[in-house]
Structure 1
Amino acid sequence: MEHNISLITTIAAGFGLALVLGVIATRLKLPALVGYLLAGVVIGPFTPGFVADAGLAAQLAEIGVMLLMFGVGLHFSLDDLLAVRKIAVPGAVVQMLVATLMGVGLATWWGWGIGQAVVFGVSLSVASTVVLLRALESLGILDSYTGRIAVGWLVVEDLAMVLVLVLLPPLAGYLGGTQPAADGVPVWQTLGKTLLQVAAFVALMLVVGRRVFPWLLWQVARTGSRELFTLCVVAAAVGIAFGSAALFGVSFALGAFFAGMVLRESEFSHRAAEESLPLRDAFAVLFFVSVGMLFNPAVLVEQPLRVVGVVLIILVGKSVAAALLVLALRYPLNTALTVSASLAQIGEFSFILVGLGASLGLMDPAGQSLVLAGALISIALNPLLFRAIAPLQAFLREKSAYVRRLEARDDPLAELPMTTEQRFLAQQVVLVGYGRVGRRIAQALQEAGQPFVVAEQNRELVERLRAQGMAAVYGDAAEPAVLIQAHIAHARMLVVATPDALSAQPMIETARTLNPGIEVIVRSHNEEEAAQLRAAGAGTVFLGEAELARAMTQHVLTPPGSRGAQHA
């Protein structure tokens, strides 16, 4: 008796080819995501040989979308977004509008209808969070302030795209899609009904979900079974996504996103993220493979100029717009270049949007292939753009008088005010970074009556510190001008509390040049970084794991009776 094993063959072919091509991509210093997309191209209907079941692949991709969005919600931190809101919110909104208008203009010039042009333009405006996070992690700047700006920017883009995914179906009929517009019903009424359904779902999740979900996780965790805990997390993600669609007409993506957000409120959020990660990664791979199956490589030969136009919008258009916006908001050139490189690609949300557009009759196969071509090329080139930041920055400074004036512009936060007490200007501590570590050091220095100057890249934070009466300078301390403004030449100590070890080396060099006798203290994440920092001139390097082990060992070896006195 023969069995239909198309599901097994689709999964086996997808995983197998994705593994092989993903390994090849990483060996070529490309994101593994490129390999997953190419695997879909190989088993898709547009290339010779084995063709996977497109219908099954689409359903597997839908699960992948749910788990991808669940992961986005699980890592969505409102606090992190609020910390960079003054640059991330206006920057992301304006950059998305500019990129969308460029895409709409190009599509209109090609003769496309307004509906397809809008979907096309919006799909080019949003970058991939998955690609960005992996790029920032590989560079070691994910926890830096610039890294947080880039992530916050993409979180705003993600939230905007969630709204687009919600509003597109009711608007499809008015944009010329196959889903007919409601006869005699004004567009505002259709939108109002949709937003009310979304609001009801969000209210239910925030009021009921925040109580029920953590309680349910706690009950399952008490069983002590790891597999039941993982099953509970996945069942909640998929169940809420399906329920939101069935009961409220909300997309699977939005339901899964809010499932992740609600779970983040639970004390088990970190464990849930770790336990569900392998399954999320596996279905994410199938999602990217299924997207690759939609790509027709013939578009590269038949419409090369259109592919070039799409790639230019992604790599140049929206990146330049983002860089100019960051500079206009008075942030450093390095931040502008890093954010622009972060946005020079498109990914999962673009795929979800063009897939939704296709189902609503707002995107034809040729348009899908153009977006996928732009994604493949931009993701492949993205690592090269990050590597080009440092040499490009040096080149612009050397060749452009405008850039030099831009970086030397009169910024009241970039220098200490004349009213700063003289006690801050001699034998003080220069503290670089006011994050989780720097804040504790500053508090201890205040309690000890030790004068110090904070150098910090977060403008809003510098404003707040000055309002509290602290001496603070805004800017990237890797630039000599910032440390000069912090009076490093007269300081007795430089304390680098930022997690970015690479940026600490130029700080040490500047400090040693202007003040040879200064004591330098830095933090590091591993022995290799610590060795590099010591070679660069750091006097004391605190290694996180080593210091934690030392403190725990001291506690273990201290007799119980004397611990209270020691802590006192």
Structure 2
Amino acid sequence: MEHDVALITTLAAAFGFALIFGFIAERLKVPALVGYLLAGIVIGPATPGFVADISTASQLSEIGVMLLMFGVGLHFSMDDLLSVKRIALPGAVVQMSLATVLGLGIGLWWGWSMGAALIFGLSLSCASTVVLLKALESRGILESMNGRIAVGWLVVEDLATVLILVLLPPLAGVLGGSGPADGAAPLWQTIGRTLLEVAAFIALMLIVGRRALPWLLWQVARTGSRELFTLAVIAAAISIAYGAAQLFSVSFALGAFFAGTVMRNSEFSHRAAEESLPLRDAFSVLFFVSVGMLFDPAILLEQPLQVLAVVAIIIIGKSIAALGLVLALRYPLNTALTVAASLAQIGEFSFILAGLGLSLGLFSTEGMSLVLAGALISIALNPFVFAAVEPIRQWALRYSALARNLESREDPYAQLPMSTERKYLEGQVVLVGYGRVGRRIAEAMQEMDIPHVIVEQNREQVETLRKTGKAAVSGNAAEPAVLIQAHIAHAAMLVIATPDAINLRQMADTARTLNPGIEIVLRTHNEDESELLRKEGIGTVFLGEEELAHGMTKHVLQRFAPRPVTAAA
């Protein structure tokens, strides 16, 4: 009996070559994503030898897009975005606009149509969240203020790109492609209908989905079956994406994104993310492989100047725009350089946009190859761009007075107001970090009327604290000037409530130098690190797991402790 094994052959080739090239990429200290794209090139039609089934790979990549967007929605936090909204929102919008204009201009200069040039510019404007997260994690700065700003910036870019994905199909006809706008209905009616359909879908998800999905997960979780729970998560993601496309004419990507955002509200969101992660990773690999299959390596030899121009826009143009915007918003040079390095690459959303343009007849395979070339080169170079941030900063601070002024520019929230009460300036507690742990400590001290000064990197958070009458200073507590502004020299205690393992010792050393007798209390998530800190005698160390076990043990012992026997009267 003959069997059609196109699907099995495509899967075997895609996963096999992705593993080989991904492993090689990681060994070369390059993101594995580059290896996945190279695997797609190898099994694509542009290279000799085995050629995988493109139509099968295309459908598999659609599932990859769904699960990729579902993961983005599952980890999307409005609170994280709002915490950096004053820099992330205007910065991302202006930077995307500038990058789009650069791409649009160069596309028109090359003789492309308006639609193709616009798709090209939009594809170059959005950076890869996946690449950024891996870069920040590898440098241990994901939880830092600079890391949060960079991630918030890219979240705004992702949301803007989602909106573009919604509006692009109805505008395709006007831009010279094949789309709904080619019909008899006027453009404003087409766009209005599209926005109404999207609004109806979002309303349905927020009203019904927010209640139905958590209830469904709870019912499945009660069965105790891990397989059923994983199946429920994946079925919800793909079914909602498919239903959104069929009933509301919404893209698979948008449907899956909102499925993730709604599921995030469930108490099982962490488990849903954990259980779906292997399948999301697998199909994400297939997505990148299928994108690589569309790339024609010959373009590197045939159009080297065009490729160089694309890379220049991505790495130089976007970085300079971001650098200027962050500095214009009065953030220090270090933050500006970190954000600039974060945006010096493009990735998954660029592929999705370019692929949509290709399907709508707006974009050409030549343009797609240029976008892919820009992505491959910029992602491969991104680790080196990040590595250059600190040397560039040190060089600028050494030889440029302007750079020194930008790094230490006056910040109204970097020092306590002159009107601060004396109780906050002597014998107080200096609390570093106002996250989930720091906030609870501050609330407890407030109830006990214990004077304290909060040190927090988030300027917007400090501004909010100041408005409520709390003593707060903006800045990185690893810098002596920041602790000096918190009057650490006369403080009774330093409480480090942020899990910043890199700067923790520097904070403690600075505090001890300025105040040898100060008591230091700190937290850690790592058992080995807690042992080292205790041996060094830095201060009183609290390990999260230990405190949780202590609290639970105390509750159990109180419940089952023998009760005293009372003598009979």
TM-score by length of 1: 0.94
Match of 1:79 in 2: 79
1:333 equivalent to 2:333? Answer yes
* Secondary structure, aligned partner of 2:520: strand
Match of 2:35 in 1: 35
1:548 corresponds to which letter in structure 2? L
CA offsets per residue over residues 489-539 of structure 1, 9 Å max, x none?
Answer: 222322222222112233233323333333333322224544665688732
The equivalences for 1:287-436 within 5 A come to 287-436=287-436
Name the stretch that deviates more: 413-422 or 56-65: 413-422
Name the stretch that deviates more: 247-256 or 222-231: 222-231
CA offsets per residue over residues 524-563 of structure 1, 9 Å max, x none?
Answer: 2224544665688732333323333344444445564599
2:313 corresponds to which letter in structure 1? I
Match of 2:490 in 1: 490
Name the stretch that deviates more: 441-450 or 411-420: 441-450
| CA distance, structure 1, for counterparts of residue 388 and residue 218 of structure 2 | 48
Match of 1:131 in 2: 131
Match of 2:214 in 1: 214
CA offsets per residue over residues 266-304 of structure 1, 9 Å max, x none?
Answer: 222222211111111111110010011111111112212
| CA distance, structure 2, for counterparts of residue 532 and residue 405 of structure 1 | 38
| CA distance, structure 1, for counterparts of residue 308 and residue 538 of structure 2 | 48
Match of 1:442 in 2: 442
Match of 2:510 in 1: 510
| CA distance, structure 1, for counterparts of residue 435 and residue 226 of structure 2 | 34
| CA distance, structure 1, for counterparts of residue 318 and residue 144 of structure 2 | 23
Match of 2:142 in 1: 142
CA offsets per residue over residues 119-171 of structure 1, 9 Å max, x none?
Answer: 01111111111122222222233233332222222111111111111111111
The equivalences for 1:204-243 within 5 A come to 204-243=204-243
Shift of 1:468: 1.8
Match of 2:566 in 1: none
Tell me if structure 2 keeps the 8 A contact 1:65–1:287.
Answer: yes
The change in CA–CA distance for 1:434 and 1:247 in structure 2 (over 3 A counts) is: same
* Secondary structure, aligned partner of 2:158: helix
Match of 2:269 in 1: 269
Match of 1:543 in 2: 543
CA offsets per residue over residues 432-458 of structure 1, 9 Å max, x none?
Answer: 111111112222322333322111111
2:7 corresponds to which letter in structure 1? L
The change in CA–CA distance for 1:534 and 1:100 in structure 2 (over 3 A counts) is: farther
Name the stretch that deviates more: 19-28 or 406-415: 406-415
| CA distance, structure 2, for counterparts of residue 439 and residue 220 of structure 1 | 35
Name the stretch that deviates more: 109-118 or 539-548: 539-548
* Secondary structure, aligned partner of 2:413: helix
1:479 equivalent to 2:479? Answer yes
Shift of 1:380: 1.4
The change in CA–CA distance for 1:84 and 1:180 in structure 2 (over 3 A counts) is: closer
* Secondary structure, aligned partner of 1:495: strand
Match of 1:467 in 2: 467
Shift of 1:184: 5.4
The change in CA–CA distance for 1:174 and 1:514 in structure 2 (over 3 A counts) is: same
* Secondary structure, aligned partner of 1:522: strand
1:49 equivalent to 2:49? Answer yes
Match of 2:284 in 1: 284
Match of 2:567 in 1: none
- Which stretches of structure 1, 4 residues or longer, exceed 6 Å deviation after superposition? 534-537
| CA distance, structure 2, for counterparts of residue 120 and residue 375 of structure 1 | 12
1:269 corresponds to which letter in structure 2? S
Match of 1:175 in 2: 175
Shift of 1:106: 1.7
Name the stretch that deviates more: 351-360 or 546-555: 546-555
* Secondary structure, aligned partner of 1:414: coil
| CA distance, structure 1, for counterparts of residue 422 and residue 309 of structure 2 | 57
Name the stretch that deviates more: 140-149 or 102-111: 140-149
* Secondary structure, aligned partner of 1:453: strand
Shift of 1:45: 0.9
| CA distance, structure 2, for counterparts of residue 447 and residue 96 of structure 1 | 46
* Secondary structure, aligned partner of 1:541: strand
The change in CA–CA distance for 1:236 and 1:51 in structure 2 (over 3 A counts) is: same
Match of 2:188 in 1: 188
Match of 1:106 in 2: 106
CA offsets per residue over residues 282-340 of structure 1, 9 Å max, x none?
Answer: 11110010011111111112212211211121112112222222222222332222222
1:265 corresponds to which letter in structure 2? N
Tell me if structure 1 keeps the 8 A contact 2:521–2:541.
Answer: yes
| CA distance, structure 2, for counterparts of residue 228 and residue 134 of structure 1 | 30
* Secondary structure, aligned partner of 1:89: helix
CA offsets per residue over residues 40-97 of structure 1, 9 Å max, x none?
Answer: 1111111111110111000000010011111111111222222222222111111111
The change in CA–CA distance for 1:480 and 1:120 in structure 2 (over 3 A counts) is: same
1:238 corresponds to which letter in structure 2? I
Match of 2:88 in 1: 88
CA offsets per residue over residues 472-497 of structure 1, 9 Å max, x none?
Answer: 11122222221221122222322222
The equivalences for 1:513-532 within 5 A come to 513-530=513-530
| CA distance, structure 2, for counterparts of residue 534 and residue 222 of structure 1 | 42
Match of 1:120 in 2: 120
| CA distance, structure 1, for counterparts of residue 114 and residue 341 of structure 2 | 30
CA offsets per residue over residues 213-265 of structure 1, 9 Å max, x none?
Answer: 22322332233222122212211211111111111111111111111122122
The change in CA–CA distance for 1:536 and 1:321 in structure 2 (over 3 A counts) is: farther
* Secondary structure, aligned partner of 1:181: helix
Tell me if structure 2 keeps the 8 A contact 1:310–1:371.
Answer: yes
The change in CA–CA distance for 1:508 and 1:67 in structure 2 (over 3 A counts) is: same
The share of aligned pairs that are identical, in percent, is: 71
Match of 1:566 in 2: none
| CA distance, structure 1, for counterparts of residue 154 and residue 57 of structure 2 | 28
| CA distance, structure 2, for counterparts of residue 328 and residue 534 of structure 1 | 43
* Secondary structure, aligned partner of 1:210: helix
Name the stretch that deviates more: 14-23 or 468-477: 468-477
Tell me if structure 2 keeps the 8 A contact 1:338–1:389.
Answer: yes
| CA distance, structure 2, for counterparts of residue 467 and residue 90 of structure 1 | 23
Match of 1:18 in 2: 18
Tell me if structure 1 keeps the 8 A contact 2:332–2:409.
Answer: no
Q: What are the ranges of 5 or more consecutive residues in structure 2 without an aligned counterpart? A: 564-569
| CA distance, structure 2, for counterparts of residue 545 and residue 380 of structure 1 | 38
| CA distance, structure 1, for counterparts of residue 172 and residue 368 of structure 2 | 17
1:11 corresponds to which letter in structure 2? L
* Secondary structure, aligned partner of 1:517: coil
The change in CA–CA distance for 1:562 and 1:146 in structure 2 (over 3 A counts) is: farther
